[in-house]
Structures are given as structure tokens and as C-alpha cells.
Amino acid sequence: DGGITQSPKYLFRKEGQNVTLSCEQNLNHDAMYWYRQDPGQGLRLIYYSQIVNDFQKGDIAEGYSVSREKKESFPLTVTSAQKNPTAFYLCASSPGQGRLAGMNTGELFFGEGSRLTVL
């Protein structure tokens, strides 16, 4: 079945360590996104990518980095510069700007999330 796979589901990190969260999609979507979710704050956009080899900062990009070398993959690295990394991270994809014909596209499809805890 087509979908978005995030791994690992749970991750523990010591302070000062970088950690990379994986996100893979087989939906043939152009656009991919990373959100951070904290209780009571909804989802906040970290980075997004509309096309391979291009990505843009979202609202809370500091302390994070991404790459988009393949259409299917959009890994997120949480660096030691991120002051409060403990959170639930959600990856999403959408068909993107080029696939809006018929008004039946445009929504976000989400993975099941990765919970990062800094010890």
C-alpha cells in the first residue's frame, strides 16, 4: 500500500548528540514536510520541500537540517544546536503545486510520527 513511513518510532538521545529521523514515501508526491508537535501548540512547520534538491525553512528551522536528494526521502537531522528537541515529529507529503487538477489533491498525508526524547 502507498504511504509514508517514519522511523524510528521512538528515539532517545543524549544531550549534545545529533540524531536523524527518516521519512520515506511511495506516493509519488512532489512535496514533503516536517512538523514538530508539542502539547497545546498544534503542529509547527520545521522545513518543507517542493521538489528534489530544494527545500525551504519553515517557522522553527533553527537547530534542524534536512536534505532532499531523492523524491521519496526527506530525512530530518536534529542537531545539538536545537535547545529543546524533545517532541513528537511528523513527516507529511502532498502532491504539490503541479498536481492540483480536479480539486481532489492538495491535502497532506502524514506518517505515524517519531517521538524523540533527550535524556
Partner 1 sequence: AQSVTQPDIHITVSEGASLELRCNYSYGATPYLFWYVQSPGQGLQLLLKYFSGDTLVQGIKGFEAEVKRSQSSFNLRKPSVHWSDAAEYFCAVALYNFNKFYFGSGTKLNVKP
Tell me if 41 contacts partner 1 by CB under 8 A.
Answer: yes
Tell me if 63 contacts partner 1 by CB under 8 A.
Answer: no
Provide the minimum distance between the beta carbon of 77 and partner 1 in the complex, in angstroms, as a whole number. Answer: 20
Tell me if 84 contacts partner 1 by CB under 8 A.
Answer: no
From 26, 62, 100, 117, residue interacting with partner 1 (rule: CB under 8 A)? 100
CB contact set of 68 (below 8 Å; sequence gap of 6+): 32, 49, 51, 52, 53, 54, 55, 74
**DSSP designation for 101:** G
Q: Which is nearer to partner 1, 20 or 56 (CB)?
A: 56
**Closest CA relative to residue 111, chosen from 91, 87, 89, 95:** 91
Q: Are 45 and 60 in contact (CB under 8 A)?
A: yes
Tell me if 45 contacts partner 1 by CB under 8 A.
Answer: yes
From 23, 90, 116, 118, residue interacting with partner 1 (rule: CB under 8 A)? 90
> Across the chain, which distance is largest between two alpha carbons, in Å?
48
CB contact set of 1 (below 8 Å; sequence gap of 6+): none
**Closest CA relative to residue 30, chosen from 118, 111, 106, 112:** 106
Tell me if 16 contacts partner 1 by CB under 8 A.
Answer: no
Tell me if 25 contacts partner 1 by CB under 8 A.
Answer: no
Residues that bind partner 1 (CB under 8 A): 4, 6, 31, 33, 35, 40-45, 48, 50, 56, 58, 90, 92, 94, 96-97, 100, 103, 106-113, 115
